[in-house]
Amino acid sequence: MDPTTLSLIQLGVVFFALGFLGRLAGRIGMSPVPLYLLGGLAFGEGGLVNLGGIDGFAHIASEIGVILLLLMLGLEYTAKELVTGLRQSWMAGLLDLVLNMLPGIAIALILGWGPVGALVMAGITYSSSSGIIAKVLGDLGRLGNRETPVVLAVLVIEDLAMAAYLPILTAVLAGVSLLGGLTALGISLAVISAVLVGALRYGHLVSTVLDSPDRESFLLKLLGAALLVAGIASALQVSAAVGAFLLGIAISGGTAENATRVLEPLRDLFAAMFFVLFGLNTDPRTIPPVLGFALLLAVVTVATKVITGWWAAWQQGIAVMGRARAGAALIARGEFSIVIAGLAVASGAVPAELAALATTYVLIMAVFGPVAARFVEPLVRLFQGKKQQNDPELIF
């Protein structure tokens, strides 16, 4: 069969199946992300059917999906709100870094992967998935919740930390000199600072340039700007996701509201492909040998993320329910963790088992994270009800 014909048929099957999975998720009141991931796992290498004809499209579509997810997350907030959140949450960011890097370092040393393996695993267990979390918060209608700016601030601090971490990791894996690594780090930090200052001072100009009364022109300019900024950011050793997020921050007022309406269908389409591709690239046969270690790591880092979110929300005076939602929202791991594992394995500096462990761990966390975010509210209500029955005078 002609390759183009095969790709069209396979893409049709994938999109049709995603539509049913999304409908099923809506019926049971949860985010479709776990179902998308498991669907990709079933139809990737080593799954029930290998849909190899869509690899090229799925890869670029997934990249666009992450960019749109973070762009629309940025549209929800202004640059001033972002800076205020960073100032208020830097201690939570530091706690997040310490609590969630230590389990990765420990497991790497226990398995004998040495300092380089420890550096790699530290990044894998540290960074939450901005893409998955943005999707889940939108699906559950929590973007306007009081705890959401706290979650956002922690995610931004993580993304900024990744902008510093990735050049260092790349230099270590490639055997580059300390000076070369510090140079790459300096470039990353300078780019982020320049974009953030530009968003604060000249955000209204960005909105003016992109705005248009014509819907088609507006959509094309928005998408073009998002891809352009993300590509330039990536070329400068800064995460493409961070670049897209900062662009969203720079767009304000009525332009931001119109952008949200115009981009929402595209975001849903391409974001679904991001989650499916992650599953497609996971071979189920590599999971059993490392499943025990991955589950242990998952249990520990679920607890550390919940502690991070709970403490960060408590610092802002948010009530128990909001603290629990903040902690559950941060559980999911995703795109950065996979990028880190891919860089490490491609370099040959770490054993291949690290990729299998990282993939299994991220898959567990990417599936469990949205589920935990969905069911945290009824669990907290149940717990509060039992506490009040035991002590009627207890006030939450």
Residue 225 vs residue 354, higher pLDDT: 225
Half-sphere exposure of 208 (CA within 13 A, CB side): 5
pLDDT for 209: 86
pLDDT for 395: 41
Residue 393 lies in a domain: no
Residue 314 lies in a domain: yes
Q: Give the residue numbers spanning the domain of 114.
A: 3-382
pLDDT for 200: 67
The CATH number that applies at residue 207 is 1.20.1530.20
Q: Percent of the chain beyond pLDDT 90?
A: 18
Residue 348 lies in a domain: yes
Residue 5 vs residue 217, higher pLDDT: 217
The DSSP call for residue 316 is T
Q: What total of structural domains would you count in the chain?
A: 1
C-alpha 261/C-alpha 21 separation (Å) is 23
Residues 205/249, Cβ–Cβ less than 8 Å: no
Residue 221 pLDDT grade (very low, low, confident, very high; cuts 50, 70, 90): very high
Of 273, 239, 278, 279, residue with least CA distance to 70: 239
pLDDT for 217: 92
Residue 92 lies in a domain: yes
Residue 391 lies in a domain: no
Of 316, 246, 279, residue with least CA distance to 83: 246
Average pLDDT of 55-66? 80
Residue 341 pLDDT grade (very low, low, confident, very high; cuts 50, 70, 90): confident
> According to the per-residue pLDDT averaged within each range, which of 27-41, 76-90, 351-365 is highest?
351-365
Average pLDDT of 208-218? 88
pLDDT for 170: 72
Structure confidence by residue, pLDDT tens digits, 147-182: 888 898 898 788 777 767 877 777 777 766 556 666
Residue 45 lies in a domain: yes
Structure confidence by residue, pLDDT tens digits, 243-278: 787 788 788 778 888 888 888 888 888 888 877 777
Residue 8 lies in a domain: yes
Find tokens 């007022």 and name the residue.
253
